[in-house]
Structure 1
């Protein structure tokens, strides 16, 4: 509406101001009534425009306000035509401007109403002038009564022009209005789509990385930050080879990748197995803008695969052990018994007796190895009961202090009393014993051994002050027959893993606070109902 008021002032200034300049240039007397009327019209129009502009900011019913403005314009133009000569006035075309303005400010049918009103006002003015009923103000003289056919023709032409203008302007304004509505809907759709894209980028679980044709990183989402530890501000416009050298997506030029996999180093130094795909990013014309790289952290998937493989190996070993146990133990028992009988023979030389004792000792060692192997392969279903792990640790500490391998080792207990867990006490005692013996051997029988437990977190841990476990073998230490000791069987930690898994838990090999090894046993947490029981 404001633009309409502004254009009205411009039109009035141009035409009325031009008319005043023309009258003055024609050397019309300054005190001539025509100039007074023109000055009065200009002043009145400016005053109405100022009042309308002030009311525009406060008006509530804009439609009524617009209708009032249109009525004012119709009356103003009619008065201007009357004062400028009636049928000989050159200002009849201003009706057309009013009709065009109404078509853009109001509905299409309202433009026809305004055209009808303009036709009635203009026709009435010409009829009154023709029949001599139009009063002449002082100083104003209308031309002599003209031909009726000329007046009718002038009226016909103007009325046709009024309605044709209403039709064309109404049609154009309706199309413009529909186009604006469609544009608004499209803008709303674009805004919703942009918000949706932002929500997807912020909440999607996969990392998204956009690389331009020069290999520069241009976008990086929140999931990528969670996986790598790098923020967008830290990687923006940097060479992708510098930040993520393992991603094979740029070698002088960008290239798509399907089902790629690499070992990516995060900001904190941790290494993650990453699966990624890279596809061309194109604009509407099909031109390549860069690469869109999607990547996921596959570390947990690899861990699950390793667990499944370990479980498969355990199942295969279990089937093999159950079938071979008797086939191995029976001959061993026969060999050991036979050799022991031979050792009791009189007149046996000392070298032969020494060799026979070696046979008996090695047979017993093989029998013990087979027993450990069976414990690993078939740990058995745990018979869970409510056990105070604090008391279990106390008993274990007493046993360890009686063992010469722990005579120079300080044992520290950090656990509340009581500290109850649901577990198989015999199997867990064996697990803690194996971990403690390994810790003693790793510390070379000198250092500190710490027992920890937290029933609320379902956590049991053993930590030592030894050299720790190298990162490159942490995933292998629970495999059967893997050992770094000269005399080890490689079944101690494998048995620990099998027992903890049979409890539905998880055992982790971590780095301790003092730099040594820390083994954490995470058992399933009890539900609220089970805790009350």
Structure 2
């Protein structure tokens, strides 16, 4: 790039000074000066030719230093010829050597500039010495003074040589400082580029949303994580009021509000509700002037769900431990009551009406005993004996049992799995959990509807019904023991499912089905 500008600058100098010399010779000198003009025209032609050749081969040059040195040598020759053709000691163009010295300092080094200054001093001194001793060949039409004295020659050489070397020293020092400054600037630019790339990478890959607001409360930036959480692209929210887009984030009410560990609800672009935690702090420049507000926010929905599941698990565990002890205490007197009533029924003096009432007592006592047995299995489940089980075959078996039950003959079963799906579970426990889900879904539809059974190799199994679904107000209670919405239900079915899945190290979630019903999804850790 510097060589290109150098060649262009040289053409401009040639045009200005040689053109000026030619016009001077033609306009102010006599017609006898025509031969000198011809020599100047010839020098212009050589100079333009050399510039064109240099420009043509510049892109193919690999050794730029040698090429630059050749250009400097040509410039010295050119200036020497111009001084010779314009009168030697009377020439006004000796200062062009200074331009050549400055060019060498900029393109090469300080040492090269001193060498060029030495060469310019030798060439200029040689012309004046040869002219003084009348040994300089004279060309026809070139004006030379008839006679010059030694003092004039010495003074001209002394002044110009001093100027040449001072120029070389000053321009060399300045060019060295310029190079160091350029190198430092280049390193700083590289540092800034690396920092910019690092910042861009961090902003693109950080999991937290970043929102920048200007002093007028307008959104100026939203990173990729923020776009993913909110569903908005930067173009959708750019320059919009933050109170309009994110009303739950109380970070601006005409002026900035600093927030630490704030929490609120955020409705994304698709209408989904997220619980977000956010912080807001000032965005400042290097002079500590406030440029805007930086808001960082995270989607806490999954964290809140995990907290609720943990609380529910702890609550169920506590209830289970308490109820387990109570079940034992109830079961023993219940057995005594049942046994005593059965003995009374065998007495000959008991009437038929009394026997009918006693049979009701025994039947209800047996039902309570079964309920207590189920509850004890829930409260103190056995450790799973893991084995490889084909869940697809297990679901097929449960579907056949359901279809064989006359109560559910109007239920249509859709299977969403192909081939075997192997998981490591306790076959009996997991069969019980799936059966509870299947019966729960069939009863929720009132014996009529569509039941979807699905399984995937990554340990995801689901049972979905087309029933009325489960309301948001009941979602937190469905896995609690003895909670039921059915008239004849015990409220232990889903509680046992939750306990079995948890014992297997898995998780069960409730989603809305494709037809509005309940979809229970079991996720097992593989």
Shorter-chain TM-score tier:
0.7 to 0.9
1:177 to 151, 176, 179: 179
Contact 2:262 2:279 in 1 (8 A): yes
Contact 2:417 2:456 in 1 (8 A): no
1:467 aligns with 468
Using the TM superposition, give the Cα deviation of residue 118 of structure 1 relative to its aligned residue in structure 2, in angstroms: 0.7
Q: How many residues align?
A: 524
Query: In 2 relative to 1, CA 413–111 (structure 1 residues): closer, same or farther, beyond 3 Å?
Result: closer
2:427 aligns with 425
For residues 399-438 of structure 1, give each alpha carbon's deviation from its aligned partner in whole angstroms, at most 9, with x where no partner exists: 5466564355455666557665433233233323322332
For residues 209-230 of structure 1, give each alpha carbon's deviation from its aligned partner in whole angstroms, at most 9, with x where no partner exists: 2222233322222222332332
Using the TM superposition, give the Cα deviation of residue 381 of structure 1 relative to its aligned residue in structure 2, in angstroms: 0.8
Q: Distance in 2 between matches of 1:285 and 1:13?
A: 50
Q: Distance in 2 between matches of 1:474 and 1:36?
A: 104
Q: Distance in 1 between matches of 2:185 and 2:428?
A: 76
Contact 1:416 1:453 in 2 (8 A): no
2:6 aligns with 4
Contact 2:409 2:447 in 1 (8 A): yes
Using the TM superposition, give the Cα deviation of residue 156 of structure 1 relative to its aligned residue in structure 2, in angstroms: 1.8
Q: Distance in 2 between matches of 1:524 and 1:90?
A: 93
1:45 to 47, 62, 68: 47
Using the TM superposition, give the Cα deviation of residue 171 of structure 1 relative to its aligned residue in structure 2, in angstroms: 0.9
For residues 151-185 of structure 1, give each alpha carbon's deviation from its aligned partner in whole angstroms, at most 9, with x where no partner exists: 32322221111111000011111111221222222
2:299 aligns with 297
CA RMSD of aligned residues (A): 3.2
Q: Distance in 2 between matches of 1:4 and 1:433?
A: 89
- Spell out the pairing of 1:115-154 with structure 2 (5 A cutoff): 115-140=117-142, 142-154=144-156
Using the TM superposition, give the Cα deviation of residue 202 of structure 1 relative to its aligned residue in structure 2, in angstroms: 1.9
1:510 aligns with 511
Say if 2:194 is the partner of 1:196: no
Q: Secondary structure at the match of 1:431?
A: helix
Contact 2:26 2:34 in 1 (8 A): no
1:218 aligns with 220
Using the TM superposition, give the Cα deviation of residue 375 of structure 1 relative to its aligned residue in structure 2, in angstroms: 2.2
1:245 aligns with 247
Using the TM superposition, give the Cα deviation of residue 112 of structure 1 relative to its aligned residue in structure 2, in angstroms: 0.2
Query: In 2 relative to 1, CA 430–33 (structure 1 residues): closer, same or farther, beyond 3 Å?
Result: closer
Larger displacement relative to structure 2 (322-331 or 290-299): 322-331
Query: In 2 relative to 1, CA 345–211 (structure 1 residues): closer, same or farther, beyond 3 Å?
Result: farther
2:20 to 12, 18, 21: 18
Gaps of 5+ in 2: none
Gaps of 5+ in 1: 526-533
2:85 to 71, 83, 86: 83
Q: Distance in 1 between matches of 2:60 and 2:459?
A: 69
Using the TM superposition, give the Cα deviation of residue 264 of structure 1 relative to its aligned residue in structure 2, in angstroms: 2.2
Q: Secondary structure at the match of 1:20?
A: helix
For residues 80-128 of structure 1, give each alpha carbon's deviation from its aligned partner in whole angstroms, at most 9, with x where no partner exists: 2223332233222221111111111111110000000011111222222
Q: Secondary structure at the match of 1:295?
A: strand
Using the TM superposition, give the Cα deviation of residue 353 of structure 1 relative to its aligned residue in structure 2, in angstroms: 8.1
Q: Secondary structure at the match of 2:478?
A: coil
Using the TM superposition, give the Cα deviation of residue 496 of structure 1 relative to its aligned residue in structure 2, in angstroms: 0.8
1:495 aligns with 496
1:531 aligns with none
Q: Secondary structure at the match of 1:473?
A: coil
For residues 20-68 of structure 1, give each alpha carbon's deviation from its aligned partner in whole angstroms, at most 9, with x where no partner exists: 3333443511664333333333343333333333333443332222222
- With the length of structure 2 as denominator, give the TM-score of the two structures: 0.88
2:289 aligns with 287
- With the length of structure 1 as denominator, give the TM-score of the two structures: 0.87
1:528 aligns with none
1:92 aligns with 94
